[in-house]
Structure 1
């Protein structure tokens, strides 16, 4: 059983709750839920006063975006973020960071978080609306989860979601048999390091890092090592998205306007996505539902809410306008 809500590494008023998920061959497995309550007045009168938010982080990442949490809380929402198993606050000694063999594994993490939030999946949907927000690999996880739980979300917000491999659809299809074969014969083998640390450098140069509560051991400059069985899970998840899914709710997909070659440092990395091929993601996004809005942020980096002040403000205003003037508000019963 969890010990209950405790002070978080981000400092007051953030709190965290440990969610036990059983054991695997690396020991006890947990997820960690972080929460921020809205200010009293916003919680009573804000446009999102009946909304609970669950945020999912990306690969080699964890939740530390205090400004993002306060944005949601300022609109009256109850904000929650989930450090998935073997990431961030949930990473235990001797565990393989971020390792899963299928993205369906995260159903258990999300179910535990939703139960703690008052949205247990074995009960009727809460009178409070549930909004999920996710970044990068978390966006892939959230998209697939939403497609299997179409009656649960009032809205889905995806910040540079990893909906397609950087090789594109044809490259992924050509690579897939080799990936699947190696996953079978050498599931925990080593991959070459492809993250050269330039994305972290870009965040530092634009002033997004460091911030209070930032832990480099939870978010290493060059990312965590990856393994064949994990890559096979990613490729399979991309295949499912490419085949077409339906998240069943209004969806906002936020992307930078351009991508940059990630293998050689250049100043454009401080104003573009150096992780994903954003045009490929935009094409993939139209296959995840019937009510999808794609918004491009000029000058944005991979995590748009860690960009320079001007594109970051543009991303916040775009998100606020979509939330408060669009389908999310209209869905209030």
Structure 2
């Protein structure tokens, strides 16, 4: 495991390379990005006043957050990290193997054939965070935070590792195939194709409208700098072996998971089909069918909160100003409630 070095995000961010076992394409790594709380104090939203950390304990001083990105993505959201560090938490983001900072020459971007492969990435991250491979070797609480495919990955991991996390927060998690009723019908064909030609790529159907929507709603007062080599305008190629792994994950969610800790799911209020460009695509989820995701979320565990945000994009924290601020306000409210209840 390497040492912490300055990250490409600059400012307070650092990164650490996590060496993993080789696979059929050679050496494999994951990358952990870190942002730590400062001693500059924090703004207490409910009371509208500044708190000095030297005179009052911050609400998340004993919390570690582990973020996992989605498909064709990587971690770049400074504001999301600072939401947590301003409240005292240590924030960590994991660029999984073959994504973003972890992608190496000659590798197939994002390619795996089983979502449980990421157990090694997550366990290496937890060790680097000082929590042990199971995440429990610490007196600090652990919050798992996942977006899209990362939300699916973390949901499955949390269900398989009871007691490891204290809360799970999901930003538009990909819990179900876009046409839920079709999934059982296409699964046998997907499994056959994955066995015979696992690296066969599906035709590119992404027209780049989701990326355009984010650019259209970009806020100069809350800038986001994206590396298009790591997060391309059109999504990375979808290979048969990877697609079968996703469908298998969806089937496990549909059968019911057993996440015993509180779960918060943030979603757009509606979906839109990106067949042609229109302004409508700047205020809806153009990736998932959010009504189906909301239903699937109820199968994650016994305590699930679903927050529907009007005007939000697929990544609710990259939406236009009003929806984005609403997403952060909902997250703040849920986290404050969870933190208070968890300490009683």
Task: State whether TM-score is above 0.5.
Answer: yes
- 8 Å contact 1:250–1:328 — kept in the other structure? no
The residue that corresponds to 1:119 in the other structure is 131
1:155 aligns with 2:167: yes
Instruction: Please state whether the residue corresponding to 1:218 is helix, strand or coil.
Output: coil
The question of 1:177 aligning with 2:198 is answered no
Cα distance in structure 2, aligned partners of 1:121 and 1:98: 23
More displaced 10-residue stretch of structure 1: 201-210 or 271-280? 201-210
CA deviation map 1:23-77 (0-9, x unaligned): 1121210000001011224576211111000000000000000010111111111
Equivalent residue number for residue 48 of structure 2: none
Secondary structure in 1 matching 2:229: helix
1:86 corresponding residue in structure 2:
98
Secondary structure, aligned partner of 1:38 = coil
Find 1:215's aligned residue among 227, 236, 247.
Answer: 227
The alpha-carbon distance between structure 1 residues 208 and 80, as it changes in their structure 2 partners (threshold 3 A), is: farther
In 1, Cα distance between equivalents of 2:317 and 2:94: 17
Deviations 1:75-115 (A, max 9, x none): 11111000000000000001000000000000000000001
Number of the residue aligned with 1:29: 28
Asked whether the 8 Å contact 1:195–1:222 carries over to 2, the reply is: yes
Output the CA distance in 2 between the equivalents of 1:332 and 1:26: 46
Structure 2 residue corresponding to 1:228, chosen from 240, 261, 285: 240
Shift of 1:329: 2.6
The 2-side partners of 1:309 and 1:212 are apart by: 13
Q: Of the candidates 102, 125, 133, which is equivalent to residue 114 of structure 2?
A: 102
Task: Give matches, 1:251-270, under 5 Å.
Answer: 251-270=263-282
Q: Which residue of 2 aligns with 1:14?
A: 13
User: Residues 332 and 178 (structure 1 numbering): CA distance in 2 closer, same or farther, change over 3 Å?
Assistant: same
Cα RMSD between the aligned structures? 1.5
Q: 2:219 touches 2:321 (CA, 8 Å); kept in 1?
A: no
TM-score, structure 1 normalization: 0.96
Alignment-derived partner of residue 194 in structure 1: 205
Alignment of 1:178-327 (within 5 A): 178-207=189-218, 211=223, 214-324=226-336, 326-327=337-338
Q: Distance in 2 between matches of 1:136 and 1:202?
A: 17
Classify the secondary structure of the residue corresponding to 2:122. Answer: helix
Residue 155 of structure 1 contacts residue 328 of structure 1 at CA under 8 Å; is this kept in 2? no
Please, which runs of 5 or more residues in structure 1 have no aligned partner? none
Greater helix share, structure number: 1
Deviation at 1:313, TM superposition (A): 0.5
Offset at 1:214? 2.3
Structure 2 residue runs of 5 or longer lacking an equivalent are 43-52
Separation in 2, partners of 1:276, 1:14: 31
Q: Secondary structure at the match of 1:47?
A: coil
Q: How far off is 1:248 after superposition? A: 1.7
Decide which moves more: 122-131 or 170-179.
122-131
Give the match's secondary structure for 1:216. Answer: coil
Deviation at 1:315, TM superposition (A): 0.5
TM-score of the aligned structures, taking structure 2 as reference length:
0.93
Q: Is the 8 A contact 2:123 2:134 kept in 1?
A: no
Check the 8 A contact 2:135/2:165 in 1, yes or no.
no
Match of residue 53 from structure 1:
65
How many Å apart are 1:300 and its aligned residue?
0.3
1:133 has 2:133 as partner: no
Q: Number of aligned pairs?
A: 330
CA distance in 1, matches of 2:81, 2:134: 27
